[in-house]
Structure 1
Amino acid sequence: MTFPPGNALKGRSIVITGGSRGLGAAIAQVLGAEGATVVLADLVLERAKEQAAELARQGIEAIAEPLDVGEETQVLELMQRVHDRFGRLDAVVNNAAIDITVPIAELHGFDWERIVRTNLSGPFYVAKHAAALMGRESACGGGHIVNIASTASKRAWPNAAAYHATKWGLLGLSHALHAELRPRGIKVTAVVAGGMRTPFLLDRFPDIDPGVLQDPVQVAKAVRFCLLQDEETVIPEVTVIPMRESSWP
C-alpha cells in the first residue's frame, strides 16, 4: 500500500524498533509518507534493509540499523548515531516485541527473561537514551516517545503470562514517563493496539480468522495522529481495536 506524499513530518527523524515488518513497517510507511526520515531499527538487519529499500522506491527516506533493544549499549549507540547523522532526534516508537505462547508450566526461566528484556527493558532503554538527546538544541525541550502496548495490557488470556506481564508493565512505564518527562516538553504516548493482520499474530495462531483483525496501517495512522498534535497538546493513551474483534468489549 502506498500513500500520497505529505510534509506534516518533514525534517523529523524517527526511530522505529522492530521496523522491518508488521506494524513497525506500517508505521515507517505512514510516517515516511508524511516526510519523516525513518530509521528501521531491527534485530534482523537484512530484512530491515529490504524494507528500507522498498520505502526508498516510494520516495521515503529510510535507513536500516541493527538493534537488539535488550542490549542497553546498542540502544545508546544507535540513538547517538541517529542524532549525530541528522542533528536531531524527534521521536522514537517502541514497537519491538516477542512472545512465546505456552502454559506457565512450560515457560522456561530463560524465555521469561528474554521476553521481559525485549518487551519491557528494551522500551526503558530506548526511552532513557532518546530522552537524553531530545530537544538538546532547544531550551524548552521537545520530542515524542510512542510505546506500542496492546489490549494484553488491559486484560489477560491463558498461555501468555510473560507477554501480559510485560505489556501491563509497558503501559505503566509509559504513564510514568509521561508524568516525568512532560515538564521537559517531551511527550509520551501509549498506543493500546488490538489484533492486527501481522506475522506476530498470524504466525502463532494460523487458525485465526484474519477478517476479525485490523490492518496495521490503521494503528500506524493512530501513531501519526498522536505525533501531529499541536505543541500544547499530548495524548497519553489511545486504544485502536478492530470492529469485529471479540476479545475486547
Structure 2
Amino acid sequence: MKQLNTIEGKVILVTGAARGLGAAICRILSEDGAIMIATDVNASLLEKTVNEITSQGKKAYGYTLNVTDENNVEETVKKIVNDHGKIDVIVNNAGVDYTKSIEELSYKEWRQVIDVNLTGPFIVTKAVYPYMKKNGSGHIINITSTASKRAWPNASAYHASKWGLSGFSHAIHSEARKDKIKVTALVAGGMQTPFLLDRFPDIDLNLLQNPENVAESIRYVLTQPNGSVIPELMVIPMTETSWP
C-alpha cells in the first residue's frame, strides 16, 4: 500500500487564522509537526491563537496580513520566506459575509465580500506561486462553501464570491499541475464558528459541524501521495440544511 505523505516540517500559511476554522486548521495541523504561519488582519486575536498553539509545544508564528492589499501580501510573503525558507502550503480561508438582500446590501459591502473572499485568494496565490514553482512543489487549498454549489436568499455577494472562488480553484488546478503544485477546493458546510454564530446566535448547533472536523479533512488532503491530487472535496454536517 502506498504510504501517505507527512506534513511534519511543512510551512503552512493560513489566512483568516485568528479564530474559527482558520484557528482550528492551525491547531490540527500543528499536531503533526507542521510549522503554522497564522495570518489575519486582527493582530490581537491572532496572537491569542498563536500562543495557544505554542503553549502546547507546537510551532506557530503570527503575521498580520490584509489579503485585499497586494503590497502588504507581497511584503509579508517575502518576510515569511526569509524567516522560514519556504512556503509549502497555502490555505485561503479568510472570508466575510453580510446577510442582506440586494436592496439592503451597499456597494461598499459588496466590494468587501468580493475583495476578501475572491480577490484575496488570487492575491495570496499570486504572491506565493513563484516560490512554490521554484521549489518544484506546493499545495494551495481554497476554502469554498456549499454556497458555491447552490443558493439561498440574502447572500448574493457571498454566493458570487464562493462560486467565483470555486472556478478560480479549478482553473489554477489545471494550470499549476505542470509546476507540480496541487490545488484543492475544500467545500465546507456549516460550522460551529463565529462566522455563523455572530450573525445567527439562535442557530441550532446540532445542524453545524465542529470546525476541527473540516481541519481534519485538510490534513487528509495534504497527506495524499505525490502522484495524486484531490481537486475538490466536500465536508458537510450530517444534518446539513444547505445541501440535500
Q: Normalising to structure 2: TM-score of the pair?
A: 0.96
Question: Aligned partners of 1:115, 1:175: CA distance in 2, in Å?
Answer: 20
* Aligned twin of 2:163: 168
- The corresponding residue for 1:99 is 97
Query: For 1:183 and 1:136, how far apart are their aligned partners in 2?
Result: 12
Would you say 1:8 and 2:6 are equivalent positions?
yes
Match of 2:21 among 8, 20, 23: 23
TM-superposition CA deviations, 1:48-89 (whole Å, max 9, x none): 011100100111111111111000111111211111111111
Letter in 1 for 2:235: V
Q: Which amino acid aligns with 1:207?
A: D
User: Aligned partners of 2:57, 2:143: CA distance in 1, in Å?
Assistant: 26
Q: How much does 1:127 deviate? A: 0.9
Separation of aligned partners in 1, 2:225 and 2:78: 27
Does 2:204 correspond to 1:209? yes
| Aligned equivalent of 1:75 | 73
| Residues 1:40 and 2:35 are matched in the alignment | no
Give the aligned partner of residue 4 of structure 1.
Answer: none
Shift of the alpha carbon at 1:8? 2.7
Determine which of 150, 173, 181 is the counterpart of 1:178: 173
Q: Residue 70 of structure 1 aligns to a residue in which SS?
A: coil
**2: CA distance, partners of 1:20 / 1:163:** 20
Which residue among 207, 223, 227 is the counterpart of 1:228?
223
SS of the residue 2:134 aligns to: coil
Give identity over the alignment, percent: 50
Match of 2:184 among 186, 189, 196: 189
Structure 1 residue ranges (4+ consecutive) displaced by more than 3 angstroms after TM superposition: none
Distance 2:78 2:177 in 1: 22
In structure 2, what is the Cα distance between the partners aligned to 1:13 and 1:113? 31
Q: Distance in 2 between matches of 1:60 and 1:189?
A: 26
Q: For CA contacts below 8 A with separation 6 or more, give which structure has more relative contact order.
A: 2
**Structure 2 Cα separation of the partners of residues 78 and 36 of structure 1:** 19
Q: Does 1:218 align with 2:213?
A: yes
Q: Under a length normalisation based on structure 1, what TM-score does the superposition of the two structures give?
A: 0.94
Report how far residue 246 of structure 1 moved: 2.2
Q: Secondary structure at the match of 1:238?
A: strand
What amino acid sits opposite 2:165 in the alignment?
L
Match in the other structure for 1:243: 238
Give distance in 1, aligned partners of 2:56 and 2:6.
Answer: 17
* Equivalent AA in structure 1 for residue 176 of structure 2: L
Could you say what secondary structure the match of 2:72 adopts? helix
Aligned to 2:38, the other structure's residue is in SS state: strand
CA distance in 1, matches of 2:75, 2:222: 24
Distance in 1 separating the partners of 2:82 and 2:142: 24
The aligned amino acid for 1:157 is W
